Structure 1
C-alpha cells in the first residue's frame, strides 16, 4: 500500500524519506514489510503521501506506539 501511494504521488523512496525525516532504506523496509512504523511515522507518511481514509486506517492498524523511543523513562545510573 505504501509503495502504491508513494508512486501515485510521483515520489521516490529517497524523496519520501527526506520529506518524512527517514532514510531511503527505512522507507524500503516499510514497503517490504520488514519494519513496522511507529504512530508518529505513520502520521507523517499519511500526511506526505496524501493517504485516503482507508489507507490511513490500514497504516494505523499496523503501527506500534511510540512509547519505546520517545516515552521511555530514564533509569537512575548505578553509583
Structure 2
C-alpha cells in the first residue's frame, strides 16, 4: 500500500523532528561505548551512520518537497497561453 502525499509529509516531519535527534543520540552513545578510534575512523563511522538512516526512509521522503500531486488544479491554470 502506497502512502498518500499528506501522510508522507506528516511522517517525514515526525522523522526529522523526533526520530533524527533520537538517532543522533543513539549513534553517539553506541560509538562512545568503545575506545575512541582514530579521528579519520571516527569521521568515517559518523558519515556512514549519517547516510545509513536514510536508506529505510527514502520512500517516505521522495516527492515531499514538490507540490501535492493529488491536489486539483486551480481554475484557469490548465491553459498554457
TM-score class, shorter-chain normalisation, is under 0.3
Larger RCO, structure (CA 8 Å, separation 6 or more): 2
TM-score, normalising length from structure 1?
Answer: 0.27
Structure with higher Rg: it is 2
TM-score, normalising length from structure 2?
Answer: 0.27
